[in-house]
C-alpha cells in the first residue's frame, strides 16, 4: 500500500503547514489529530525498509522500521499528544509550530536508516526546539537558547565529520552497529554524547530547559536526549565505556539537584540521572540490559513529562518556581499535588509504578554481568533520585512551609494531560507486559520477584527516613536564593581568572619590549642627528627653511614608527 511508504514524521510536517492557515478550535483539533492519526498509521506499518534510493555512490535509507525504532516511535507519539493537550490554552503560533516540527524531527531521526538522514534530522531537532526556549521572551531565555543552539549544532557538525570518515572507511552510510574501532566511531560517539548530556557536556541541558516556557520544557524533556539514547542503543550496544559514563551520570547530578532552588532545574538534573541508567544498560549490552535501557527511556518520557507538567502548572498559576518561594499549595491545588505525587512515585521506582518495572532490569543486568561496583552506584543513585525528585519536588512545592500563595489548579487541558501521563505511569506499573511486548528482545523478565520488591521497598523506606531525619535536624540543604554554576564554574570563573593572569604577564612582557624599542629608537635618532649636523648647517645656509623641513620630517617619521610599534 502506498500509505506504508509515508514516513511517520510526514504527518507532523504537513500538519504544521495546515495549522499555520487555521486559528482557534480548528487549529487545536488539527494539532490533536496529527499524533493520533500518525500513531494509527505507525501501528499498521510492518518491519523492514520502506524507502531507499541511491545518492552519489551510496544507498540512503530515510525510512526503516524495526522493533527498536517502533518503540521510540510510539512513545514520541504519546509525548507529542500529551504535550499538545497540555498546551491547548496557549495562543502562541511560534510555540505550536516549533513543537510540531520538533516532534516530527524526533520521529524522522529514530526511523532514519542511514547516517546522512540522521544528521539532517539531528540538526532539525536543534533548530526547531530552540524556539521553545526563546518563546519565553526573556533575556535569560535568549542567552540560554543561543548556547543551546550552538552546542546542538556543534554536535551535528561532529556527527557529520564522523559520518564522512565512516563512509570513507566502510563505503556505506547505513546506520547500524558502529563500535569504537575507528576515529569515525569515536567522533560519532562524541556527537551522541553531547546530545545525551554526558558529564562535562551536560550544562546546556540544565541551563536551557528551566528557561523554556512551561509547555516548552515538557516537549524538550521528551525528545532530544531520548533520540540520543536511541542512537546509542543502535550504534554502541555493549561498548563498556558507556557503563562507566552512565554510572557517573546517575550519581553526580544528585549533589547539584539536592542544593538547587529552581525546581525545574532540579528536574533537569534528574533527567541526566535517569538517562544515566539508560546509558549503563546500553553499555552492558545484553538483551536484558538493552530492554531495560529502552523501556526506561519509554517510561522516563512519561513520568518526567508528568513532573515537568506539574511544575509548569505551578509556574503558570503562581509565576514562581523556586522552592524557597513555594509551599502550602496542596490546599488550593489538590489535583496538581496528587498528579505530581504519582510522577514522583514513578521516577522513584515504587512498586506498582512504571519506573520500577524498567529500572530494575538495568540493575539486574549489572549484577548478572558482574558489575558489582556499578550496581552499588546505581543503588546510591536510586536513593538519590528519591530524595531530589521523589520527595523534594512535591514537598517543597506543595507542602513544607506555607508560602501564603493561594493559586488554583491550572486549566482543564493541563490537568487532563497530566492525568493521561499519570494513568500510564500506573497502568505500566501494574501491567508491565504491555510495555514488554514492544521491547526488542523477549527475556521473560518478571519485575515483581519477591527479592526485587523487598530490596526496593527497603531502599525507599530508609531513604525517606534519612530525609525526615535530616530535615528535622536542620541538616538538609535549605532552599536558598542562589546560583549554582556546576561545571560552568570552569569557564565562567576559573578559566577567566587563569586567562586574566596569563594575559597580564603577556601585557607586561609587551610593555617591556615596547619600552626597550622606544629607547633603542631614541638612540638611533640621536645618532642620526649628530651625523647630520653639517648637512643641517648647509641646508640652513642655502635654504632657510631646510632645517625646519628636515626636523619636521624626522619628527613625523619617528611618530609614525612609534605608532606602528604600538
Q: Give tens-digit pLDDT for 429-444.
A: 999 999 999 999 988 8
pLDDT at 159 over 80: yes
User: What is the DSSP secondary structure assignment for residue 121, as one 8-state letter?
Assistant: H
> Contact 454/448 with Cβ under 8 angstroms?
no
CA pair distance 418, 54, nearest whole angstrom: 45
Q: What is the pLDDT of residue 506?
A: 81
Give me the pLDDT at residue 389, please.
87
Instruction: Give residue 4's pLDDT band: very low, low, confident or very high (50, 70, 90).
Output: low
Query: Which residues on neighbouring strands pair with residue 322, listed in sequence order?
Result: 262
User: Over the stretch 29-47, which tens digit does the pLDDT of each residue have?
Assistant: 999 999 999 999 999 888 8
Over range 310-326, report the average pLDDT: 93
Q: Check: pTM over 0.75? Answer yes or no.
A: yes
Say how many C-beta atoms besides its own lie within 10 A of residue 536's C-beta.
14
pLDDT in tens, 352-374: 999 999 999 999 999 999 999 99
Q: Coil, helix or strand for 61?
A: strand
CB atoms within 10 A of CB 263: 30
pLDDT in the model for residue 525: 59
CA pair distance 559, 541, nearest whole angstrom: 27
pLDDT band at 552 (very low <50, low <70, confident <90, very high): low
pLDDT at 100: 95
What average pLDDT does this structure show over 163-185?
93
H/E run at residue 532 = none
Please report the pLDDT score of residue 544 as a whole number: 47
- Residue-wise pLDDT tens digits, 410-421: 999 999 999 999
pLDDT at 547 (0 to 100): 47
Residue 551 has pLDDT above 60, yes or no: no
Dihedral sign, Cα of residue 299, residue 301, residue 302, residue 307: positive
Q: What is the pLDDT of residue 444?
A: 87
Q: Which pLDDT score, from 0 to 100, does residue 148 have?
A: 95
pLDDT at res. 550? 53
Q: Of 407, 209, 139, 421, nearest to 306 (Cα)?
A: 421
pLDDT at 459: 87
pLDDT digits (tens, 9 = 90+) for 479-512: 566 666 676 666 666 667 776 777 777 878 877 8
Q: With the CA atoms of 443, 448, 454 and 460 taken in that order, what torsion angle do they form, in degrees rounded to the nearest 10?
A: 90
Q: How confident is the model at residue 527 (pLDDT cuts 50, 70, 90)?
A: low
pLDDT beyond 60 at 54: yes
Strand partners, 55: 58
Amino acid at each position: 500500500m502506498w500509505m506504508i511508504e509515508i514516513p511517520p514524521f510526514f504527518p507532523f510536517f504537513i500538519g504544521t503547514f495546515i495549522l499555520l492557515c487555521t486559528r482557534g478550535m480548528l487549529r487545536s483539533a488539527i494539532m490533536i489529530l496529527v499524533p493520533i492519526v500518525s500513531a494509527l498509521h505507525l501501528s499498521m506499518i510492518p518491519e523492514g525498509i520502506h524507502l531507499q534510493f541511491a545518492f552519489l555512490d551510496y544507498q540512503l535509507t530515510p525510512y526503516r522500521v524495526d522493533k527498536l525504532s517502533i518503540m521510540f516511535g510510539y512513545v514520541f507519539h504519546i509525548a507529542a499528544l500529551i504535550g499538545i493537550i497540555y498546551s491547548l490554552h496557549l495562543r502562541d503560533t511560534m510555540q505550536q509550530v516549533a513543537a510540531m516540527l520538533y516532534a516530527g524531527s524526533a520521529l524522522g531521526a529514530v526511523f532514519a536508516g542511514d547516517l546522512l538522514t540522521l544528521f539532517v534530522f539531528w540538526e532539525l531537532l536543534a533548530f526547531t526546539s530552540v524556539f521553545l526556549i526563546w518563546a519565553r521572551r526573556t533575556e535569560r531565555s535568549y542567552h540560554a537558547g543561543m548556547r543551546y543552539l550552538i552546542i546542538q549544532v556543534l554536535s551535528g557538525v561532529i556527527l557529520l565529520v564522523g559520518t564522512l570518515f565512516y563512509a570513507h572507511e566502510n563505503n556505506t552510510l547505513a546506520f547500524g552497529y558502529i563500535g569504537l574501532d575507528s576515529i569515525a566511531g569515536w567522533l560519532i560517539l562524541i556527537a551522541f554524547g553531547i546530545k545525551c548530556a554526558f558529564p562535562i557536556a551536560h550544562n546546556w541541558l540544565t541551563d536551557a530547559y528551566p528557561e523554556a516556557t512551561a509547555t516548552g520544557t515538557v516537549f524538550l524533556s521528551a525528545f532530544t536526549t531520548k533520540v540520543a539514547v536511541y542512537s546509542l542503543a543502535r550504534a554502541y550496544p555493549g561498548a563498556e565505556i558507556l557503563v562507566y559514563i552512565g554510572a557517573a551520570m546517575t550519581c553526580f547530578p544528585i549533589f547539584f539537584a539536592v542544593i538547587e532552588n529552581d525546581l525545574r532545574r532540579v528536574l533537569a538534573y534528574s533527567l541526566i540521572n535517569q538517562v544515566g541508567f539508560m546509558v549503563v544498560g546500553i553499555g552492558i549490552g545484553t538483551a536484558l540490559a538493552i530492554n531495560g535501557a529502552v523501556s526506561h527511556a519509554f517510561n522516563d518520557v512519561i513520568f518526567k513529562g508528568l513532573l515537568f507538567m506539574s511544575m509548569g502548572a505551578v509556574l503558570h498559576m503562581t509565576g514562581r518556581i523556586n522552592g524557597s518561594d513555594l509551599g502550602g499549595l496542596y490546599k488550593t491545588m489538590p489535583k496538581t499535588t496528587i498528579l505530581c505525587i504519582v510522577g514522583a512515585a514513578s521516577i522513584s521506582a515504587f512498586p506498582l509504578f512504571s519506573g520500577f518495572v524498567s529500572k530494575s532490569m538495568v540493575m539486574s543486568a549489572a549484577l548478572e554481568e558482574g558489575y558489582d561496583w556499578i550496581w552499588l552506584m546505581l543503588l546510591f543513585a536510586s536513593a538519590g533520585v528519591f530524595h531530589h525528585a521523589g520527595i523534594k519536588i512535591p514537598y517543597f512545592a506543595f507542602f513544607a512551609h506555607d508560602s501564603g500563595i493561594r493559586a488554583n489548579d491550572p486549566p482543564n487541558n493541563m490537568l487532563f494531560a497530566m492525568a493521561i501521563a499519570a494513568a500510564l505511569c500506573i497502568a505500566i506499573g501494574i501491567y508491565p507486559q504491555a510495555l514488554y511486548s514492544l521491547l526488542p528482545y523477549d527475556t521473560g523478565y518478571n519485575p515483581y520477584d519477591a527479592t526485587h520488591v523487598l530490596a526496593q521497598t527497603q531502599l525507599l523506606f530508609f531513604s525517606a527516613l534519612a530525609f525526615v531525619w535530616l530535615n528535622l535536624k536542620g541538616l538538609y540543604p535549605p532552599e536558598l536564593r542562589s546560583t549554582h554554576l556546576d561545571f560552568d564554574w570552569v569557564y565562567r570563573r576559573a578559566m577567566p581568572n587563569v586567562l586574566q593572569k596569563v594575559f597580564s604577564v603577556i601585557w607586561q612582557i609587551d610593555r617591556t619590549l615596547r619600552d626597550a624599542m622606544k629607547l633603542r629608537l631614541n638612540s638611533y635618532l640621536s645618532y642620526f642627528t649628530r651625523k647630520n649636523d653639517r648637512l643641517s648647517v648647509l641646508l640652513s645656509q642655502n635654504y632657510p627653511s631646510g632645517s625646519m623641513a628636515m626636523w619636521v620630517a624626522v619628527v613625523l617619521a619617528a611618530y609614525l614608527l612609534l605608532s606602528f610599534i604600538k
